Chains A and B, each alone.
Chain A
Amino acid sequence: MERAHQYALSGYLIALADDELILGHRDSEWTGHAPILEEDIAFANLALDEIGHAKLWYELAADLLGEDKVTYPDKLVYFREPAQFRNMQLVELPKGDWAFSTLRQYLFDAFEALRLEALSQSSYTPLAEIAARIRTEELYHLRHSQAWVPRLGLGTEESHARMQAALDALWPYAQGLAASLPGEQDLHAAGIVPSSAGLFERWSGEVSQFLVEAGLQVELRSPLADIDRNSHSEHLPALIHDLQSVARLDPEATW
């Protein structure tokens, strides 16, 4: 792979990994707090998986940059400033009620399924192989969130109202899925990654239909002004502080 592509791909992968890390962190906030035991177990597992997937992407980025695969991911996670994270705003929003977290998971999982399908066909084999690995695990995430959306959307008056409120709040942020990742244009031209805009079109059609069938009203809103990955909500710094506080107490500590 060309050097310019290596560098671009490392940035792309760090953004993907940041999405997984931040979503995983939000999911972990349900541990001990989910409405039923099964969902406590489910969200703890989702969190573990997402953070595991983040690690695989960070490691591949480390490889591309000639950095150490063991120490570099920790450096990125624990010692960057909030403004240096490249996750989308959708995943950093506070966990909200359980309808909000479940619906966010569905919106993200459905997009990720399409992206992983495309990445597993990448012309860059190490990327394709890791995407294939993550894809089979993500199948279980989508099965889970897909089961809950209609269950809640068509459930009781309250569950429906909460889901509709969650959708109204999340939908503008979900438009950020259409935005290009760092380095995407060049990498897409080289057949290494898919076009986010292309995936978004498929996602938008499939997801809208699924939500309508789940009794929810999808409003076509204009996207937020700043959906690119360089801008964050006020919620990210608090999350990052929470995530990094132990590591920063003693950066030299060994486990």
Chain B
Amino acid sequence: MVMLHMHTGVGAGSQRPSEPEIWVALSEVPDPEMPIVNLVELGIVRAAAWEGDVLAVTITPTFAACPAYEVIGSSIRQRLQAAGVPQVEVRVQHSPAWTTEWMTEAARSKLQAAGLAPPPRHQGDLIQVLMEPVACPRCGSHNTTLQNNFGTTPCRMIYTCVDCKEPFEMFKPL
């Protein structure tokens, strides 16, 4: 873990963290529902810019009704304040809409390793991509069936692997 100077900011004058340090700190904030991946690699954090002494951080929730975004906001504030940012303002921006195309390869690999099938790349054609077979994240078989268009969070759907008989979730392409 990269350690940042931990002064509390107030009265510290020009000692505020640099842009790379800010992004490192942001990439240490885990997603509350899938802590194996962080908010930056998921593509949720869209921008971080100084406005005077306030750091404005723009986030785009994965789903309109994502219940996690308030927790996400407070996790970001806490982590940045610990990194020496005196004042953080988290802004929610819904457009352009979040898409799984923003998720990095690193995040996809982590999901896969944790048994959650990553969202397929779709270049905007969701209907087409949803007709293609999904690989089981455990055994790799493409012999899988859709169990439910919905899952344990708004961003997941449930499949069953016909070969290894295990149910698994896939991150919905969006």
Task: Name A's B-contacting residues (CB within 8 A).
Answer: 38, 41-42, 44-46, 48-49, 51-53, 55-56, 126, 129-130, 132-134, 136-137, 139-141, 143-144, 147
Mostly, the A contact residues are helix
Say yes or no for B148: interface residue by CB 8 A criterion.
Answer: yes
Tell whether, in the assembled complex, residue A41 and residue B63 are in contact, meaning their CB atoms are under 8 Å apart. no
A49 to B99, CA, bound (A): 16
Task: Name B's A-contacting residues (CB within 8 A).
Answer: 63-67, 94-97, 99, 126-127, 130, 147-152, 154, 157-158, 172, 174
User: Which of A55, A129, A140 is close to B96, meaning CB atoms less than 8 Å apart?
Assistant: A129
Give chain B residues whose Cβ lies under 8 Å from the Cβ of A129: 94-97
Nearest B residue (CB) for A144: B149
Give chain B residues whose Cβ lies under 8 Å from the Cβ of A55: 64-65
- State the Cβ distance, A215 to closest chain B Cβ, in Å: 22
- Known interface pairs A55-B64, A134-B64. Does A45 touch B158 (Cβ–Cβ under 8 Å)? no
Give chain B residues whose Cβ lies under 8 Å from the Cβ of A134: 64
- Known interface pairs A42-B149, A48-B67, A49-B64. Does A136 touch B174 (Cβ–Cβ under 8 Å)? yes
Give chain B residues whose Cβ lies under 8 Å from the Cβ of A42: 148-150
Tell whether, in the assembled complex, residue A56 and residue B94 are in contact, meaning their CB atoms are under 8 Å apart. yes
A38 to B66, CA, bound (A): 20
Tell whether, in the assembled complex, residue B158 and residue A133 are in contact, meaning their CB atoms are under 8 Å apart. no
Tell whether, in the assembled complex, residue A48 and residue B65 are in contact, meaning their CB atoms are under 8 Å apart. yes
Tell whether, in the assembled complex, residue B148 and residue A49 are in contact, meaning their CB atoms are under 8 Å apart. no
Nearest A residue (CB) for B156: A45
A136 to B96, CA, bound (A): 13
A140 to B148, CA, bound (A): 10
Tell whether, in the assembled complex, residue A137 and residue B152 are in contact, meaning their CB atoms are under 8 Å apart. no
Could you write out 13 A-B pairs with CB less than 8 Å apart? Answer: A38-B147, A41-B151, A48-B154, A49-B64, A49-B65, A52-B63, A52-B65, A136-B174, A137-B64, A139-B126, A139-B127, A140-B157, A144-B150
Give chain B residues whose Cβ lies under 8 Å from the Cβ of A51: 65
A139 to B126, CA, bound (A): 9
Give chain A residues whose Cβ lies under 8 Å from the Cβ of B151: 41, 45
Tell whether, in the assembled complex, residue B157 and residue A137 are in contact, meaning their CB atoms are under 8 Å apart. no
